[in-house]
Amino acid sequence: MRDPSSRSTVESGAPAIVLLVDDEPGVLTAMRRSLRSKPWKVLTAASGLDGLEILERQAVSVVISDFQMPAMDGVDFLKQVKERWPHVQRVMLTGNATIPAIEHVVNKGEVSRFLTKPWSDAQLKAVVTECLERVRLAELNALYEQQLTERNAELVELNQHLERQVAERTRALVQAEKMAWLGRMAGGVAHEINNPLGGILAFAQLLSRDGKLDESSRESVAAIRECALRCKTIVDDLLSFARRPGCMLTRSADFNDLILAAVHIAGLHPRAKDLELRVETCEGLPPVRCHTSLLQQVIVNLVQNAIDASEPGQIIRIAARREDGWLLADVEDRGCGIPEHVQPNVFEPFFTTKEVGQGTGLGLAICYRIVQEHGGRLDFSSREGQGSVFTVRVPVDQAAEIGGGT
């Protein structure tokens, strides 16, 4: 049962309740008459036990109790009131209490005030008014403390949110600066390598046409050509990574069609035949404004990564959906997952979890940059041994959605 005294008269606006406890009916009638025509409600009890029952049911603010009563005297009664309803103001009414008895009650803190019999109406009203003012101030203080606690909690939460935002923005700025610097470096390196690499491939092709070469020499030339082609792939990745934003020619495209085309391309991967590529399109999606081939490249790369991480017979789920003003593509696998300690490095250039010779570490870095250039975000969640989910988030083409076309 809820403590009735916990109901604040300040919050509820209800009139305060004054409880009169005396075993003499005439005293109760006289006190009730003295307290009439005031903004409070008066209840009476003929004994301490009756008074406790009323306190159980009513949100009493002030108790005025007689000192001497049968079964339970005023000291024991008010002591219980203090223990069970400490916020209730307690007043002792007596006509013959000795000075030591009064000192004992006051020192124990059982009462707020004493009233002697006989009393005057003005004196009784003044005591009740003073006690109610104490109750009001105590309730206001408790209310202000509660509000202060709530405001402090809100400020702590807001401060933590701002700290997270600052940390996220700082990481994003550091990442952007790092990516820009690496992009400039990668572009320069790629251009420097491209020319001699083209010469190597050209001479390798000429040598392969020489009919005088023996089998061993032909195998060597083929190895040279294969290594040069691998270098060319790396150079192409470097050039893609170094590509500057802001020069993309974009158009409005169907998001579902873009995903389906990307999955079709990714499905040509040799290991895809042993897996199920499950595509979940979403009806009624608005268009996306994008560089179609670049955004398609992102989906292809994510699906191929999922293929590399999966075991035969597993399912790779590719799903389109919408969240407010964003279009999302989830690429989910149940493969090996990404170890937690390397997850912060996933979008770093040249970082890869694949075996040596199976990746340059530029795929996800390029995807991250392409999605950023589209005003979106590339996120992921992963648990080692349980798989990963990569989510591409790009903005809806608002103009096309409103206009109903491209």
User: 107 pLDDT band (50/70/90 cuts)?
Assistant: low
The mean pLDDT value of the chain amounts to 81
Per-residue pLDDT reduced to its tens digit, 284-331: 999 998 888 888 889 988 999 999 899 999 999 999 999 988 999 999
| d(C-alpha 403, C-alpha 289), whole Å | 13
Specify the amino acid at residue 155: L
**Structure token pair of residue 127:** 């005591």
On whether the CB atoms of residues 289 and 396 are closer than 8 A, the answer is: no
On whether the CB atoms of residues 133 and 127 are closer than 8 A, the answer is: no
Surface-to-core class of residue 265, CB atoms within 10 Å of its CB (0-12 exposed, 13-18 middle, 19+ buried): middle
At residue 320, the 3 state secondary structure works out as strand
b/e sequence 101-131, b meaning 16+ C-beta within 10 Å:
ebeebeeeebbbbebeeebeeeebbebbeeb
Give the number of other Cβ atoms within 10 Å of residue 2's Cβ. Answer: 7
| d(C-alpha 196, C-alpha 200), whole Å | 6
More confident position, 184 or 27 = 27
Per-residue pLDDT reduced to its tens digit, 38-74: 788 899 999 989 999 999 999 899 999 888 888 888 8
Tokens 């170890």 found at? 339
Q: What is the pLDDT of residue 200?
A: 85
Beta bridge partners of 383: 387
Residue 249 C-beta-side C-alpha neighbours within 13 Å? 1
Surface-to-core class of residue 365, CB atoms within 10 Å of its CB (0-12 exposed, 13-18 middle, 19+ buried): buried
What average pLDDT does range 192-210 have in this prediction? Answer: 81
Residue 214 has pLDDT above 70, yes or no: yes
Q: What global pTM score does this model have?
A: 0.48
Per-residue pLDDT reduced to its tens digit, 140-152: 888 899 999 999 9
Per-residue pLDDT reduced to its tens digit, 237-280: 666 655 555 545 678 899 999 999 999 988 888 889 999 999 99
Give the number of other Cβ atoms within 10 Å of residue 84's Cβ. Answer: 13
To the nearest whole percent, how much of the chain has pLDDT over 90? 27
Beta bridge partners of 330: 319, 391
Q: Which of 229, 224, 227, 230 is nearest to 204 (CA)?
A: 224
**Structure token pair of residue 24:** 């003499």
